Chain A
Amino acid sequence: MSETIALARLALQRQRTSLLIIAALVAIGVSSAFILAAPGSRTADEFAIIALLLTMLPAGLLSIGLFSFSSDRDFLLGESGFLHWLLRMPIAAWKLALVPITLKTIWISSLWIIFALTAGSTTTAQLHLMLPAVICSSVGIWLMVLIWRPFTNGWWRLGAFLVCSLVLYLLIFGMLTEMESNGPVISSWLKSLCTVGIYGMFALGVWMSVRAVHLARSNGFGLIPEMGWAKASKLENARECRVRQHRSPKAALIWHDLQKSRETHRYVFLLGVAPALVLLTLFMPFSIVGYVFVMVLFTCFASVASATVQDHNPQGTIVLPPYLGASPLGTATIAWTRIFTTAAILTLTLSLSLIIFAGWSLFPSNRVVWNQWSAEMAEATGVSSAGPGIALATILATFIIVIGRIVAFIWPALCGRPWLNFSIIVVATFGYLIPIVAVIAWFLQQTSWESTQQNALYWLAYLPGLVAVWLAAKALLVLFCSIRLHSLRLVAPPVIVCMIGGYLITTFLIAVALHLLIPYPQATLVWCFAAVLVVLPLARMLALPISLHYGRHL
């Protein structure tokens, strides 16, 4: 068996599961598109394209990282992410680089061609075949270059990542502009430049990947300078480490978790939050779209900043390292302290977005837009403070939704069973996607605004029943978790009662705030309370120590 075939087989075997998942997604997407695009159906185009996007987009995103022969090393380190044992094999560097590149290019191009041909057959859309395939492959290849190449430290890698992202983004933007027949007309030399740039980036990526493997072979642990690094290390170790008296094990764990994720926080702040604060305040005008963009962006920052609080293994499961697992910290203490730290980091990061809103208020043009919108709201509701009320309620709702959802999905990972974690993610994804798709599909079927409103009111009549069932199920789960917590001797009953009491008080206070802020009569206190009860997890909070108990004592 030749080296090339051996490498190709290794690449395929390493990611057999991912390949199967992607293939399944593609099969589902393509077959759904053809089924939905039945002749004579009025909404065939929309349904087919939604089905294709919902399956092919995750398949495409998953494919970007395939075949990369990379380990699970931290992206923010200087060392090469190429499998070190493979670098030591007597195989030419160009083969080590070109085999995964070839596989990735074939795979991604095939995906694009399948997508374009299916979209062309089932809808009126006519998509280019060549250029998008090349640019998508380039994204995957450049990602490999950045992972494989050793750097002096993580900052250089991150800098290179940002430069590459910008160039690839501009090229994709140029390509989309060129492909869009109704879009702005760009000059022919710019079109040519874009095309040349796309092919150039692909070729450069291939060449750089071979260079990266060459470099990684003799600098696997990073490009360590002879002088500067040693000096920095000495300086770092020379700093005095004062004695710290932690008040309690809980306080020590909070300190530990914050210190552990300090480096990630620094990266998130310097590379994400700080530039976003400056750029969005100065260059983005106030609008609803701008508000949504800011909240989505800061949700992403908050998720990244809070993710490092937990310890992850390569399977993505949260596991306790032996020095914590074998420490005399109570299981409930670890679980709830970590959730507290996660929620605190999320709240703090999301709160930083308020600086942008404050900054926007300094611009007269933004104040005009705000006043106009506020007046419209006041007129529509008959409440003079409707605008600020709605804005504050939206911010509060965003905070509790983001924090609630992130905290709600930590428990499956804590129990140290990758299959359970994966299953819950799949079920939850479909749990969210199915209602969204159903609502979109329903909306697309409507013929007039009046009938849409009538239909909406008809369906909304079922909402109280649904909420009641949801809350009853939640209460049952709370009861089950409480009994389990007690039977496993993880938490004393008074603590469980305090937890439930604290949760009810918090949700009630939030509900009162929302009730006071929202000027619409439909937002009664009962409805607000029910909504917050649905959004903020309790059973899953109680399940955290149980889950960690099973993860700690496998």
Chain B
Amino acid sequence: MTDLTTPSPAVQIRNLSRSFRGQVALDDVNLIIPTGSIFGLVGLNGAGKTTLIRHIMGLLRPLHGSVEVLGQDPIADPENYLKRVGYLTEEDTLPTWIRVGELMDFSRALYPSWDDAYANKLCDMFGLSRSSRLRSLSKGLRARAGLLVAIAHRPELLVLDEPSRGLDPIARSDILEAVIRTINEDGRTVLFSSHLLDEVDRVCDTIALMRDGRIAETLTVEHLEASYSEIICRPGEAWSSPPTHSGVFGWRQTGDEWSAVVESAGDAAIPDELAVIERREISLSRWFAARAGSERDKPEADTPGTSSEVTADV
């Protein structure tokens, strides 16, 4: 497990809150991203991932709380701060009138650490041509051009907000993951927000789950496997709703079998009445569905007699 109390973290967020016209987007977020980690940010739509990333990039001003990235305030001196950061947004916002080569030349002028040889290598690797105009490229190729610009100056922190949008599965596994690993091998930090949990699972070493503008949980992949497991239950008599036990959540019904996630991996934590027939290693997607789903259904869970712990799959 990564030591979350590293003295010089890449990102340190304290009590960050933000609302837009009364709608809470971030609610007292505290987050530390250790230097050199590949940090995955997961959460349902509207959980606040993009708002958090925009604060980290200095595109939003922290009205409550503080944001410190690479030892700097992103707002105070954006000129010097942004030279050290690479950013790929989920939106397809690169100018379409520009050629790939012109975009590279333009970016070279902005980033003093721009590595021409690396940029050309990436250009070949991504299957891009300098003379192609961005408007004539597919969405996936435009996303690759954006990725090239985000990483060719070898940033100390690479922020990828839903980078997989528009990328085909081959590009995702062969290019994106390879790039992220390469950057991380140099000791640089990667913050990676995605809906694709298998990707996050393969790439990230630390994961934070966001829900309703809060960091619901932060844990490493090893910690996930050590702390959670999935149980399969086959009750003797059919349950109209699954039993409620602390530490057991995310119920899901398949035929006459029920599965759930248990918080502690110890056998003692599971009561006999659950009629467990199998115990499995937890996957990130199962944990995410259970955590996000149970969190989402929380208001109903407070009402006695409801089957609120049952996920939408039931």
A: residues with CB less than 8 A from B are 233, 236-249, 251-252, 255-256, 259-260, 262-263, 321-323, 325-331, 333, 489, 552-554
Q: Chain B residues near A263: list those with CB within 8 A.
A: 97
A326 to B57, CA, bound (A): 7
Report the minimum CB–CB distance from B266 to chain A (whole Å): 46
* CB-contact partner of B93 in A255, A256, A322, A328, under 8 A: A322
Asked if B102 is an interface residue, CB under 8 A from chain A, the answer is yes
Q: Chain A residues near B93: list those with CB within 8 A.
A: 321-323
Report the minimum CB–CB distance from B21 to chain A (whole Å): 12
Q: Are A327 and B105 in contact (CB under 8 A)?
A: no
Q: Are B108 and A246 in contact (CB under 8 A)?
A: yes
Q: Are A323 and B149 in contact (CB under 8 A)?
A: yes
Asked if B264 is an interface residue, CB under 8 A from chain A, the answer is no
Asked if B19 is an interface residue, CB under 8 A from chain A, the answer is no
Q: Are A233 and B136 in contact (CB under 8 A)?
A: yes
Q: Are A328 and B79 in contact (CB under 8 A)?
A: yes
Q: Are A327 and B133 in contact (CB under 8 A)?
A: no
Q: Are B131 and A326 in contact (CB under 8 A)?
A: no
Q: 12 additional contacts, CB 8 Å, given A259-B98, A554-B59?
A: A246-B108, A251-B109, A259-B97, A259-B102, A262-B97, A322-B93, A323-B95, A323-B146, A326-B59, A327-B107, A328-B82, A552-B58
Report the minimum CB–CB distance from B20 to chain A (whole Å): 10
Q: Are A260 and B95 in contact (CB under 8 A)?
A: yes
A328 to B149, CA, bound (A): 13
Q: Chain A residues near B75: list those with CB within 8 A.
A: 553
A246 to B106, CA, bound (A): 7
A333 — nearest CB in chain B belongs to which residue?
Answer: B79
Q: Chain A residues near B314: list those with CB within 8 A.
A: none
Q: Chain A residues near B79: list those with CB within 8 A.
A: 328-331, 333
Q: Chain B residues near A240: list those with CB within 8 A.
A: 131
Would you call the interface of chain B mostly helix, strand, loop, or mixed? mixed
Q: Chain B residues near A237: list those with CB within 8 A.
A: 129, 131-133, 136
Q: Kindly supply a per-residue 1/0 record for chain B positions 62-98, scoring 1 wherever the CB is within 8 Å of any chain A CB and 0 otherwise.
A: 0000000000000111111111010101010111011
Q: Are B149 and A331 in contact (CB under 8 A)?
A: no
Q: Are A243 and B59 in contact (CB under 8 A)?
A: no
Q: Are A246 and B105 in contact (CB under 8 A)?
A: yes
Q: Are A554 and B60 in contact (CB under 8 A)?
A: yes
A375 to B136, CA, bound (A): 61
Q: Chain A residues near B78: list those with CB within 8 A.
A: 328, 330-331, 552-553
Q: Chain B residues near A241: list those with CB within 8 A.
A: 99-102, 130-131
A449 to B105, CA, bound (A): 66
Q: Are A328 and B83 in contact (CB under 8 A)?
A: yes
A262 to B89, CA, bound (A): 26
A241 to B120, CA, bound (A): 13
The 11 listed contacts between A and B (C-beta, < 8 Å) are: A237-B131, A245-B105, A248-B109, A259-B98, A321-B95, A323-B146, A326-B59, A328-B79, A329-B79, A331-B78, A553-B60
Known: A326-B87, A328-B83, A489-B77. A260 touches B131 (CB 8 A): no
Q: Chain A residues near B133: list those with CB within 8 A.
A: 236-237
Q: Chain A residues near B60: list those with CB within 8 A.
A: 553-554
